[in-house]
Chain A
Amino acid sequence: MKGTSRSEIEHVASNGLLHRRMFLAGGAAAMGAGAMVDQAGAAPLVVEPWMKIPGAPFNGYGQPSKYEEKVARTWASAPGTSGTGSSRTPHHLLNGMITPSGLHYERSHSGIPDISPDTHRLVIHGLVKRPLVFTLDDLGRYPMQSRIAFVECAGNSGALFAKEPAAANVQAIHGLLSCSEWTGVMLSVLLQEAGVEPAAKWVLAEGADAAGMSRSFPIEKALDDAMICLYQNGERVRPANGYPVRLLLPGFEGNMNVKWLRRIKLTEGPTMTKDETSKYTILLPSGKALQFVFPLEAKSIITHPSPGLTVRGPGLYEISGLAWSGYGKVTKVEVSADGGKSWGQAALQEPVLSKAATRFRMAWQWDGGPTVLQSRATDETGYVQPTRSQLIALRGDRGIYHNNMIQSWAVAGNGEVKNVYA
């Protein structure tokens, strides 16, 4: 590898943010070679027991290493319930763009139903020429498509509306966002078979859970990219994520991606369900509320470093995180190491996909001083993720949902990271 001298390192913003070329071209490794070797040297190598005796036998379904038990969801349930509420993805302990299925966030309104795939049915009716019922075997015979898509709860990051910054980590604040590969049948194919009546302008989707979770969405979405998902990350959708079949409305707020899907009804107008009137609506300072706010706007979070991941002394680090937009592809993620005064462009890890989480990476030479890290996403519509004060100026701080403001992580001189408002 060609050496990179100290003078060739390109700073793109203040406080040590380095050009993304550093990682793409292997420059970081070259730089580290000269600057960071511990002269004391490593301890002599040990031939461990596992290097000498046979390991564990096969098993039917693999599990993570026993040393990774802390990589787990955290959750909170509604009073008097045990499975109603939400659980959160530990983004500070993950990397890449895909969320492992067992760590995908959950939002359930009446626990996780125990649905038999043999008796489950999906019915399509309302303003159609032929009301139809499908079994899972039926659905499994249709041509399928796969796409990688994020699902994000409308209430994700709502903690940042609090007047004072909470002592919370990326999981607690932003853990209601996950990204999977979803495989299933395009809803448009099934609607074509049922025959859409011209009067049909909206679609009601309803779950088979005890809450009968139900949401309305425009017919245009049904005919565009709505998918009836049978598989998640290659295996059947997990019970917590809608087994045996869930709706995917790429880019739309999480609860609209109705899990345990049992019914699709075409209607003239929205049904005005509980969750699209009394819940997922955004109350403004005027007292009026925004309704039918479907796609989630561009957003990004730095996952590394973040609270709990203490930075261990001055040196070269990778800042990395996730960015996504419900309106399409992320085109740019910028990182600031001075609380938003200067910005450098991060490298986007391929593949960069529409309505999917995108991993970004940035080289950072930390000098050991206190600083504030931020990231800011731009999507293909030109939309730029707002600051906290910009979003509050637009909608106040009582809206609960669709909080996509820039997250600020303060890095103290001792390397500890915490949630701050900057």
Chain B
Amino acid sequence: MSMRKIFVAAAPALLLALASPVAAQQSPNLGKPISPEDLASWDISIGPDGAGLPPGSGTVKQGEAVYMAKCQACHGEKGAGTPNDRLVGGQGSLPGDKPPVKTVGSYWPYATTLFDYIRRAMPFNESKSLTNDEVYGVVAYLLNLNGVIPEGETMNAQSLPKVAMPNRDGFITFTRGK
């Protein structure tokens, strides 16, 4: 195979020859192996089945304290919004032609997404600073404000994936032409 062919056709050729030692030699193979432990600090995404949820837990009450200290300035009292996104209410506002109120309670299909997003991106000016317990607590508080879980509930790796979000069945996977 000429150099030109190797470069221009690299991707398909390599894929067709996955098991071939010749193919392996054609790829630079510069990546260094890494263990799950060594990449754990970056492996922060949480699947909708709860895969990736860390140990720890938080109650609605614990979450309220965290929310008031670290979230309320942007998201308002009890998640009412302003100056930034509203987090509570809006259930029943999705159908029709009036402006929808899309919140955690009315729109988000998975509770696991809340944990994922708050831990990775919030609070806005110091993301990735909350402890896992604090994140579980804030998630519990927001779910309770939206009437999704009762006040006495504790969120952890077992309970969070089981939370039934009101808009869980609100999404249609897009197929072109349908």
Tell me the A residues contacting B by CB distance below 8 Å: 78-81, 84, 109-110, 123-125, 130-134, 138-139, 141-143, 145, 186, 188-190, 192-195, 204, 206, 210-212, 214, 223, 262-263, 265, 267, 269-274, 277-278, 281-295, 396-398
Contact = CB atoms under 8 A, between A and B. Distances in A.
Given A285-B95, A289-B170, A292-B174, A132 B34 contact: yes
B158 to A, nearest CB: 19
Interface in B15-48: 15, 18, 23, 27-36, 39, 42-48
A291 B171 contact: yes
Contacts, number: 176
A139 to B, nearest CB: 8
B127 A211 contact: yes
Contact of A265 (B27, B45, B48, B100): B45
Interface stretch (B105-113, B134-142, B143-151): B105-113
Nearest to B38: A133
Interface centre among A189, A272, A396 (most CB of B within 10 A): A272
B65 interface: no
B173 A210 contact: no
B172 interface: yes
Given A131-B34, A291-B172, A210 B127 contact: yes
Interface residues of B, number: 59
A271 B45 contact: yes
Contacts of A295: 176
Closest 7 CB pairs of A and B: A132-B31, A287-B95, A79-B83, A212-B120, A287-B94, A138-B30, A274-B117
Given A189-B27, A262-B42, A290-B172, A269 B48 contact: yes
Contacts of B171: 277, 281, 288-291
Contact of B113 (A109, A192, A274): A274
Contact of B84 (A79, A141, A282): A79
Nearest to A291: B171
B31 A141 contact: no
B11 interface: yes
B105 to A, nearest CB: 11
A288 B48 CA distance: 19
B116 interface: yes
B42 A263 contact: yes
The secondary-structure label for the interface of chain B is: loop
Interface string B115-132: 011001100100110000
Contact of A138 (B18, B31, B82, B112): B31
A92 to B, nearest CB: 30
Contacts of B31: 124, 130, 132-134, 138, 190, 193-194
B32 A132 contact: yes
Contacts of B128: 210, 212
A285 B39 contact: no
B164 interface: no
Interface centre among B7, B28, B82 (most CB of A within 10 A): B28
A286 B176 CA distance: 18
A112 to B, nearest CB: 15
B157 interface: no
Contacts of B112: 272
A212 B97 contact: no
A214 B113 CA distance: 11
Nearest to B110: A272
Interface in B53-94: 74, 82-84, 94
Contacts of A398: 97, 99-100
B113 to A, nearest CB: 5
B32 A133 contact: yes
Nearest to A142: B28
A212 B48 contact: no
A294 B175 CA distance: 10
A277 B110 contact: yes
Given A134-B30, A285-B96, A398-B100, A273 B127 contact: no
A287 B170 contact: yes
A132 B7 CA distance: 22
Nearest to A210: B127
B28 A130 contact: no
B163 interface: no
24 contacts: A79-B82, A79-B84, A80-B74, A81-B124, A125-B39, A131-B39, A133-B34, A134-B32, A139-B30, A145-B8, A190-B31, A211-B120, A263-B42, A271-B116, A272-B48, A274-B113, A274-B116, A277-B109, A277-B171, A285-B97, A289-B170, A290-B171, A291-B172, A396-B97
